[in-house]
């Protein structure tokens, strides 16, 4: 599938099947994450005061309260913490993709990320590494490849 660059300035249409759920666009605290995805980089907010990675993205450190946060490229490596195989397409756009696997990856930085998983066999504790792929709704997203 061809990669497309998302123009966030007008928001992005959000649909579930035939239902239009409105528009969404990155908030000020998430825009750096999506800029990273566009550049094929997984970025996490990093607290300069206590040297901690933060995800979900925050405007202040949830550990020490500092607002000295900066985007930093993550290792992109982690392990499968949890996963599930999807057999029923949530909308017609996914009909050609089932079954597929989604899961939570615990990154080396200590944070958890929900993502599509590929490769494998997928198992709890299996090593996984991030890549980027255009998924069914046409957006470039982080996808983790599980090492056999």
Q: Which residues bind Zn ion (CB under 5 A)?
A: 47, 49-50, 61, 63-64, 66
Report the relative pairing of strands 77-86 and 127-134 from DSSP bridges: antiparallel
Peptide bond into 56 cis (omega under 30): yes
| DSSP 8-state assignment for residue 60 | S
Query: At closest approach, how far in Å is the CB of 72 from Zn ion?
Result: 13
- Please say whether the beta carbons of 142 and 130 come within 8 A: yes
Report the C-alpha gap between 140 and 55 in whole angstroms: 19
Using the minimum distance from each CB to Zn ion, give the nearer residue, 50 or 95.
Answer: 50
- How far apart are the two ends of the chain, measured CA to CA in Å? 25
Nearer to Zn ion, 47 or 74 (CB): 47
Ordered alpha helix ranges (H), the chain: 31-38
Question: Nearest 5 degrees, angle CA 73-CA 124-CA 122?
Answer: 85
Instruction: Name which of 14 and 50 has its Cβ closer to Zn ion.
Output: 50
């Amino acid at each position: 599938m061809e990669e497309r660059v998302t123009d966030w300035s007008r928001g992005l249409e959000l649909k579930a099947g035939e239902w239009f759920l409105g528009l969404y666009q990155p908030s000020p605290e998430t825009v750096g994450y999506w800029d990273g995805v566009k550049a094929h980089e997984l970025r996490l907010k990093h607290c300069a005061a206590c040297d901690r990675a933060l995800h979900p993205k925050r405007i202040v450190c949830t550990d020490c309260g500092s607002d000295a946060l900066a985007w930093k490229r993550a290792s992109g490596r982690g392990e499968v913490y949890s996963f599930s195989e999807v057999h029923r397409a949530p909308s017609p756009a996914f009909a050609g993709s089932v079954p597929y696997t989604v899961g939570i990856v615990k990154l080396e930085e200590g944070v958890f990320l929900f993502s599509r998983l590929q490769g494998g066999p997928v198992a709890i504790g299996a090593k996984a590494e991030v890549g980027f792929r255009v998924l069914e709704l046409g957006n470039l997203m982080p996808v983790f490849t599980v090492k056999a």
